[in-house]
């Protein structure tokens, strides 16, 4: 929870690079991210317009069998809203 809280603070402060750095530190430390962590990480990706990174993290989340929430989908939609691009694959994310 401490890593997730720090990621959230960084994301809210628009320090998306730092938020993603903390996420990497978290994984290096062997801490397993949960759905709340991924939601903040995806919000950080939206802030930084890092669509490819968001897709990577979303894929990791799915492989870890963490079910997406409405908040996760909203974060993903935020990436497309900020990048003025639409999702590929018939509008599915």
Residue 90 confidence class, pLDDT cut points 50, 70, 90: very low
Angular region, 85: left φ>0, alpha ψ -120 to 50, beta rest: beta
- Best CA proximity match to 3, nearest among 22, 20, 18: 22
Angstrom distance (rounded) from CA 93 to CA 65: 16
Q: Where are the alpha helices (DSSP H) in 1-93?
A: 2-12, 16-28, 35-48, 51-63, 70-83
Query: Which are the contacts of 14, defined by CB distance < 8 A and separation ≥ 6?
Result: 47
pLDDT tens-place string over residues 26-77: 999 999 999 999 999 999 999 998 999 999 999 999 999 999 999 999 988 8
**Quick one: pLDDT at residue 92?**
47
Q: Is 90 helix (H, G, I), strand (E, B) or coil?
A: coil
Whether 23 shows a pLDDT value over 90: the answer reads yes
Position 78 scores a pLDDT of 83
């Amino acid at each position: 929870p401490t890593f997730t809280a720090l990621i959230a603070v960084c994301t809210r402060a628009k320090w998306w690079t730092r938020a993603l750095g903390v996420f990497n530190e978290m994984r290096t430390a062997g801490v397993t991210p949960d759905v709340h962590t991924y939601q903040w990480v995806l919000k950080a990706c939206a802030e930084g317009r890092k669509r490819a990174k968001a897709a990577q993290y979303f894929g990791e989340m799915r492989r870890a069998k963490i079910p997406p929430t409405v908040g996760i989908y909203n974060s993903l939609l935020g990436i497309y809203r900020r990048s003025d691009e639409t999702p590929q694959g018939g509008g599915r994310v």
